[in-house]
Amino acid sequence: MNPQSAVHRTEVDGIPTLFTYVAGPMRAGLVFRAGIADETLGRAGLTHLVEHLALYRQGVADYHYNGATKAAFTHFHVEGAEHEIAAYLTGVCASLTDLPMDRLETEKEVLRTEESRRDPGPLPLWRYGAQGYGLVSYPEWGVRNASAQDVGQWAQSWFTSDNAVLWIAGERIPPGICLKLPAGDRRPMPAVTSALPTTPAYFSHGTGGVLLDAVVADTPAAWLYSGVLERELTRALRQEGGYSYTTATDLTPRRDGFTVLAAFADALPAKQDAVLGGFVDVLAGFQAGRITQADLDAVRGRADAALSSPEAAARRLPGMAEDLLAGRPWRDAAELRSQLWAVTPGHLHEVALEAAGTALLQVPSGHSADWAGYTAAPTASDRTVTGPRFITGRAGDAELTVGDDGVSLTERSSPGPDGTRVATVLYRSCAAMLSWPDGGRRLIGADGLTVDVEPAVYGVEPSTMAVIDAAVPPHAVVPLPPRPHPPRLDRAPASSTTTSARPTAAPPATGTVLADRPRRTGGQMAAMVLLGALGGCFGLLALMLTVFGADDPETSVGEWLAISGFLWGVTALLVWPAVRILRRTSRR
Amino acid sequence: MSLASPLPPPDFEITSAYPEVAWLRQAVAAWDWTAVRQYLAGLPRGSDTSQVFSTVAGTEGVEQVLRDLVAAAPDDVFALTLLGAREVQIGWKVRTGARAESVTREQFATFHAHLRTAEQLLIRATALDPSYAPAWAERLNTARGLQLGQNEARRRYDRLAKSHPHHFTAQSRLLQQLCPKWSGSWDAAHSFARDRMLAAPEGALNAGLVAEAHLEHWLGLDAGEERHAYLGQSHVHAELVEAAGRSVLHPEFRREPGWVTVAGCFAALFSLIGDTARAAAHFRALGNLASQFPWSYLGEPAEAYTRHRDTALALTSPATAPNRGRR
């Protein structure tokens, strides 16, 4: 092995530094142990905002630079001449200690544009819930209302010299580099939460194809398994079956000793069933231990080339910086290569079984994977709160309960032990509550289940809404701008109690429940009785005049017709609103 | 009713047509799996072994023993497939053959639970040995019962056909899936039947698929004029004549498992069409052998068989002139 390609550990301005010798253009990166998984749903996006603000002063440079906010790490990287590298890194650190807050609102807009292009998919939220690593599935709801103080505090507590690692691939550490950052703590890795009571599990979502997500030990055997799996998916689904066009696998090390294996096969809508069946069979083949030495060798050749190429050490530096921040043991290339060559088909079989045990499968909407032994991921809660109930739905088939400790939405005539499905969000585990000016609220629990509270649809009084608003932890509240189409009585939402729809800040879709009838309020009841009674009196008067007035010698026929018509008109005007209330609300 | 038929009543006992089933039943009753394995191994390469698996799967209580067998040898493809086939059988017995409207929610739940258990055993079997046709053939049943989709059923058939291109039982199962009652179409069903007939060697049973497809189509129509008009089409008759000529009437034809059903289909269809001469030929070949399908489609099986046979044979007895025409 080329001794120059070794990675050396040193320090620059107190920041641990990984250096490897590379001739030619220099590359460097500053990595922080800070990411989306460190945030909360109601305040999500702060790290990303800091990253953007820190790069603003770099302006339009000739050299190539960028920033990346990941689940547990934030990267600032750069490629260029020595002095450019020094200027970039020095500038990033200077900005981090003094963020250009005059840019705050503009960068928020930039993030919103970026968000509309970002699509991480729903797998993380189904695996981890609306917290920690699951947050990457959600919109950055904390950005809109983040104040300069919020952003400054976040930067100060996470972007510190003790929470950073520098890496450099070049001829030497560039002179003139100055990394002045506040002192802080090396942050522990984010907690790994779970929203899956049992694995392997599945959920149905979208139309794109089949996706697998599995957590396996981060070893060379796992890398090779990922490669072998991709080959076999391509062979079975694309080459032989012609069911898929794209098949791919990917590994994302979580830096806690585990790596997340992802596998994907796209599908034409008409071939989804065959793609799912073929996908399941490919996985089953590996789980049964059918792994050929030839496949292993083919994949190993490529993996070894990636480790032994002159570029290898430089390419590994960002990952090694993450490992260092996470406190993972040092793994040098020679050691990894020897481990790589020791892998047998038996080892891959072990990885396949480990992956099978932790698998989460995303199957196209309308399909299931229970037949293949995957358990449906939860789309319902196992408890319901007690408190005032509000009925809605065409036949009273949805019921909102507002309790002291949370809210529940019960849907009848849906799959469940007794034909019902309940979604409950407890206030104490409410990850976020979206709040619209029209009074609508969406509560999202830490497990990812959501409950929509639409006062206009359920007939919930303002006093009850105030109770909910007061009970949700303040950091979870996300005030949002007015919605273009707030749900109304005649355009009621399908009660969205599941995590099946990828959550967005958009209003709940108008859906299947077309004629939801909310509970009649006290005021509506009183108005209805009063209008009905008055209408009745006028109706009686109109009737008497119509029947007997014609014979009255004191009125002409013209007068009789006019007065009768007037009285009938008043009756109609009084009765009509009462009928409207009667038709559009329900008694309970 | 022609209970006063001068001919012997139809014999629906499977062992009358296939004496080896009697031997198999004894072996299964004695849990002599070694003997069953040896029997399978001794069959010519490319044989349709479904009868062996359905014989085991039809044995009451055999699942207990098979579960032990699988537990002791979780990689035993033969044992996994037998247990899978048995679970399918148990599930379908709960579901019954009735139309979906008359099957209760609970029946469906139990049916699906058994099929899921079966499917997972069979997934493992085909994963361990992708060329093991009996397991793929069972997975056509699970795919249909679990409604996994037309393309998925087709994919399974294609996997089976790679190692076993003329597996008649598997083709017959896929044909069911291709019918409109299982979300398919008549076009798909008829063209699959014809393709498989033409691909198979002459004298093989596969041409029976053409008859099955027409029988399914006939049954799917409204009783009376519609059905009568369907079978009255000259192309239907011509296709049946061609299919019978390529299978049961071909010099290369051999009485393999399934032949009684195929000959029965031709007999039934020619009789329904009114071509009693051709129906008679198939009835004569059958002797008094019968299988539930196709006769269950025509009413009470024994009664339907007797009625059609007696009509066909009476009109073509030596006393009457040979009637070669239709109707």
Same domain, B80 and B196: no
Interface contact flag, A273 B151, Cβ < 8 Å: yes
Of B123, B151, B154, nearest to A280 by CB-CB distance is: B123
Nearest chain B residue to A280 by CA distance is B123
Looking at residue A5, its pLDDT comes to 59
User: Are both A309 and A415 inside the same structural domain?
Assistant: no
pLDDT > 90 fraction of chain B, expressed in percent and rounded = 89
Work out the pLDDT band at A529, boundaries 50, 70, 90.
Answer: low
Same domain, A353 and A419: no
Say yes or no for a CB contact (<8 Å) between A270 and B126: no
Predicted confidence (pLDDT) at residue A520 exceeds the cutoff of 60? no
In this structure, the answer to whether residues B131 and B159 fall within a common structural domain is yes
Domain that holds residue A12: 3-170
**What mean pLDDT do residues A411-430 have?**
81
Q: Which of A260-274, A317-331, A549-563 has the lowest mean pLDDT?
A: A549-563
Q: Which two tokens stand for residue A568?
A: 């009938």
- Identify the band that residue B164 occupies on the pLDDT scale cut at 50, 70 and 90: very high
Find which of B155, B159, B174 to mutate to test the A interface (most A CBs within 10 Å of its CB): B155
Average pLDDT over residues A343-356: 98
Q: Residue A416: what pLDDT?
A: 55
Crossing angle of helices A46-56 and A104-117, in 10° steps, is 120
Provide the CA A164 distance to its chain's centre, in angstroms: 27
Contacts of B25 (CB under 8 A, 6+ apart): B15, B55, B59
* Residues A285, B146: C-beta atoms closer than 8 Å: no
- Average pLDDT of chain A to the nearest whole number: 86
Give the pLDDT mean for B200-205: 97
Q: What is the pLDDT of residues A545-561, one digit of tens each?
A: 666 666 666 667 677 67
Q: Is residue A183 part of a domain?
A: no
Among residues A273, A498, A277, which one has the least CA distance to residue A364? A273
Is residue B76 domain-resident?
A: yes
Average pLDDT over residues A59-68: 84
Give yes or no: residues A210 and A347 share one domain.
yes
Boundary of a domain, candidates B138, B167, B196? B167
Read off the pLDDT of each residue in A167-185 and give the average, rounded to a whole number: 95
Tally of domains within chain A:
4
Residues B268 and B190 in one domain: yes
pLDDT at position A515 over 60? no
B-chain residue closest to A370, CA distance: B116
Q: Who wins on pLDDT, B316 or B264? A: B264
Residue B309 has pLDDT above 50, yes or no: yes
Count of domains for chain B: 2
For residue A378, the one-letter residue type is P
Distances (CA, A) of A12 to A84, A98, A435, B184: 17, 20, 46, 70
Q: What are the C-alpha distances in Å from A177 to residues A11, A15, A117?
A: 12, 12, 35
Which range (A256-260, A280-284, A536-540, B216-220) has the least confidence?
A: A536-540
Name the interface residues of B facing A (CB cutoff 8 Å).
75, 115-116, 119-120, 123-124, 126-128, 130, 142-143, 146, 148-152, 154-156, 158-159
Name residue A249's beta-bridge partners. A263
Confidence of residue B87 (pLDDT cuts 50, 70, 90): very high
* Confidence category of residue B6, pLDDT binned at 50, 70, 90: confident
Q: Which residues pair with A20 in a beta bridge?
A: A7, A169
- A587 pLDDT tier (thresholds 50, 70, 90): very low
Let me know if residue B10 belongs to a domain.
no
Give the pTM: 0.86
Pairing, β A258-266 against β A247-253: antiparallel
A254 and A281 belong to one structural domain: yes
pLDDT band at A414 (very low <50, low <70, confident <90, very high): low
Mean pLDDT of A327-343: 93
Q: How confident is the model at residue A496 (pLDDT cuts 50, 70, 90)?
A: very low
B318: left (phi over 0), alpha (psi -120 to 50) or beta: alpha
Residues A357 and A398 in one domain: no
* A274: nearest CB among B75, B146, B152: B152
> Are A341 and A406 contained in the same domain?
no
Q: Is residue B296 one of the residues assigned to a domain?
A: yes
Nearest to B57 by CA among B36, B71, B35: B36
Residue B326 and residue B190 share a domain: yes
The 3-state secondary structure of A452-492 reads EECHHHHCCCHHHHHHHHHHCCHHHEEECCCCCCCCECCEC
Q: What are phi and psi of A567, to 5 degrees?
A: -65, -40
Q: Which domain holds residue B163?
A: 18-167
Residue among A36, A18, A40, A19 nearest A444 (CA): A40
Interacting residues of B146 by C-beta distance below 8 A, sequence separation 6+: A371, B112, B115, B116, B119
Q: Which of A476, A501, A518 is the last residue of a domain?
A: A518
Q: Does A578 share its domain with A490?
A: no
The answer to whether position A470 is within a domain reads yes
A480 and A422 in a common domain: yes
Q: What is the mean pLDDT of residues B92-105?
A: 89
**A277:B156 CB<8 A:** yes
pLDDT, tens digit, for every residue of A214-224? Answer: 999 999 999 99
Say whether both A162 and A29 belong to one domain.
Answer: yes
Residues facing residue A7 across a β-bridge: A20
**pLDDT tops 80 at residue A393:** no
CA gap A360, A124 in Å, rounded? 10
A455 touches chain B (CB under 8 A): no
Q: Judge contact between A427 and A471, C-beta under 8 A.
A: yes
B300: pLDDT confidence band, cut at 50, 70 and 90?
Answer: very high
CB atoms < 10 A from the CB of A23, how many? 9
Task: Establish if A192 belongs to a structural domain.
Answer: no
CATH number of the domain where residue A11 is located: 3.30.830.10
Question: B202 with B268, same domain?
Answer: yes
* A158 and A207 in a common domain: no
Does residue B177 lie within any of the structural domains?
no
Same domain, A366 and A382: no
What is the pLDDT, as a whole number, of residue A580?
Answer: 56
Same domain, A410 and A548: no
> Contacts of residue A278 in chain B, CB cutoff 8 Å?
155
* Residue-by-residue DSSP string for B193-227: HHHHHHHSPTTSGGGHHHHHHHHHHHHHSPTTHHH
B313: CB partners within 8 A, 6+ apart: B7, B280, B283, B284
pLDDT band at A578 (very low <50, low <70, confident <90, very high): low
Predicted local distance difference test score (pLDDT) of residue B180:
95
- At residue B325, does pLDDT exceed 50? no
pLDDT exceeds cutoff 90 at B284:
yes
Within an 8 Å CB–CB cutoff, is residue A330 touching chain B? no
pLDDT of residue B99: 83
What is the per-residue pLDDT across A431-470, written as a single tens digit (0 to 9) for each? 999 999 999 999 999 999 999 999 988 888 999 999 999 9
Q: Considering the domain boundaries, does residue B9 fall inside one?
A: no
Closest in A288, A367, A370 to B124, CB measured: A288
Question: Looking at the structure, do residues B46 and B153 belong to the same domain, yes or no?
Answer: yes
Mean per-residue pLDDT over chain B, rounded: 93
Residue B156 has pLDDT above 50, yes or no: yes
Question: Do residues B153 and B189 both lie within one domain?
Answer: no
Give the H/E segment covering residue A166: strand A164-170
Strands A26-32 and A74-80: antiparallel
User: What ipTM score was computed for the predicted complex, to two decimals?
Assistant: 0.92
Q: Is residue A541 very low, low, confident or very high in pLDDT (cuts 50, 70, 90)?
A: confident
Query: A interface mutation test: which of B81, B124, B151, B174 has the most A CBs within 10 A?
Result: B151
Q: What is the CATH number of the domain that holds B136?
A: 1.25.40
Instruction: Mark yes or no for CB contact B75/A288 under 8 Å.
Output: yes
Contact B151 A371 (CB under 8 A): no
Assigned domain for B179 exists: no
Residue A531 — pLDDT band, cuts 50, 70, 90?
A: low
Same domain, B321 and B221: yes
- Domain end, chosen from B141, B167, B193, is at B167
Asked whether residue A179 is domain-assigned, the answer is no
Task: Summarize pLDDT for B101-148 with one digit per residue, the tens.
Answer: 889 999 999 999 999 999 999 999 999 999 999 999 999 999 999 999
Cβ contacts (< 8 Å) between A373 and chain B: which residues?
116, 120, 123
Closest Cβ–Cβ partner in A271, A284, A290 for B123: A284
Q: How confident is the model at residue A579 (pLDDT cuts 50, 70, 90)?
A: low
The verdict on B115 and B241 lying in the same domain is no
What pLDDT score was predicted for residue A492? 45
User: Radius of gyration of chain A from Cα atoms?
Assistant: 31
- Select from A461, A495, A518 the last residue of a domain: A518
Which of A426, A472, A434 has the alpha carbon at shortest distance from A454?
Answer: A434
Judge whether A244 is closer than 8 Å to chain B, CB to CB: no
A42 has a pLDDT exceeding 80: yes
B241 & B311 share domain? yes
Q: Are residues B30 and B154 in the same domain?
A: yes
Q: What is the mean pLDDT of residues A97-122?
A: 87
- CA-to-CA distance for A492 and A221, rounded, in angstroms? 52
How many Å apart are CA A153 and CA A140, to the nearest integer?
18
Q: Do B196 and B144 share a structural domain? A: no
